[in-house]
Amino acid sequence: MSDALKSLAFALALCLVCGVMLTTAATRLKPIQDENMRIDRNINILKAAGLIEEGKTYTAERIDALTDDHIVRMGVDGAGRIIDTAMTGDDPTQGVLPVYLVTGEDREIMSYIIPINTRGLWGRIHGYLAVDTDGSTITGFTIYQHAETPGLGGEIEKKWFQDNFMGKKLVDHHGNFVSVGVAKGRVEDSVPEDRRHNYVDGISGATLTGRYLATGLAQILSAYEPMSVNFRQNNIRCRMETIPPWCDDETQTN
């Protein structure tokens, strides 16, 4: 066999061995990767719910325990009713939207969390937004995955930006849904006083990221608006005595 053929055979054998090794490693590591992703999602849900402290380390067992004790995954139908569902993941299925109910020690619903999956400047932005049971006040916001530019649009993952959403309103002074916007710069410098409770400070040099995020939030929150209206009108008064939470109001039992 010539030297050229020997070199070709060696290269092919090396590629085959490396391919087998990479495939084996990916197959064996996938369950670990999936588990890490599950834990990371639960951490961000708990952050949005205000149930874990920023910067504090929690074991996977503690995260699972907190999730089991305080987070219940349900669905929302087209009329805004909370329903039991076997759907998995954070994507809508057959007209049913996923929602996470946050419960207190007595199993009373304290807030609800909406999954966020929207377009960014360079890719999808994934996170969770928590809303008080008044159906209009944001109580938490987290971003756990994005492809925005570090130091610019990437600031959406920073605590200072996400904390901006705390206490902001989804409705105007008349109770009409307007979502929450991202200002160009500081809210105080660019938004009229009577609308500031509907805006958060923007990120310098990342106007497009803020614009895409605000547009996506408006679209997503609009889809959940029937449920938010039910909360605002006190049509959802549930206590998680059992799963699912069958409520005593006619809005939930019709």
pLDDT in tens, 171-226: 999 999 999 999 999 999 999 999 999 999 999 999 999 999 999 999 999 999 99
Q: Where are the domains of the chain?
A: 70-253
- Select from 112, 111, 142 the least CA-distant residue to 125: 142
**Residue 251 has what pLDDT?**
42
**Residue 252 has what pLDDT?**
44
CB-side exposure of 66: number of CA atoms within 13 Å? 19
What is the distance between the terminal CA atoms of the chain, rounded to a whole angstrom?
81
List the chain residues with pLDDT less than 50. 240-246, 248-254
Q: What is d(CA 65, CA 62) in angstroms, rounded to the nearest whole number?
A: 5
CB-side exposure of 235: number of CA atoms within 13 Å? 17
Report CA dihedral (147, 151, 153, 155) to the nearest 10 degrees: 100
Instruction: Determine contact, residues 148/156, Cβ cutoff 8 Å.
Output: yes
Q: What are phi and psi of 26, to 5 degrees?
A: -65, -40
**Residue 32 has what pLDDT?**
79
Give the pair of three-digit tokens for residue 183. Answer: 């200002």
Give the pair of three-digit tokens for residue 182. Answer: 């991202």
- 153 CA to centre of own chain: 18
- Contacting residues for 191 by C-beta, under 8 A, at least 6 apart: 181, 183, 199
Q: Is the peptide bond before 244 cis (omega within 30 degrees of 0)?
A: yes
Q: Using alpha carbons, list the distances in angstroms from residue 121 to 58, 83, 148, 189.
A: 32, 34, 6, 24
**Residue 246 has what pLDDT?**
44
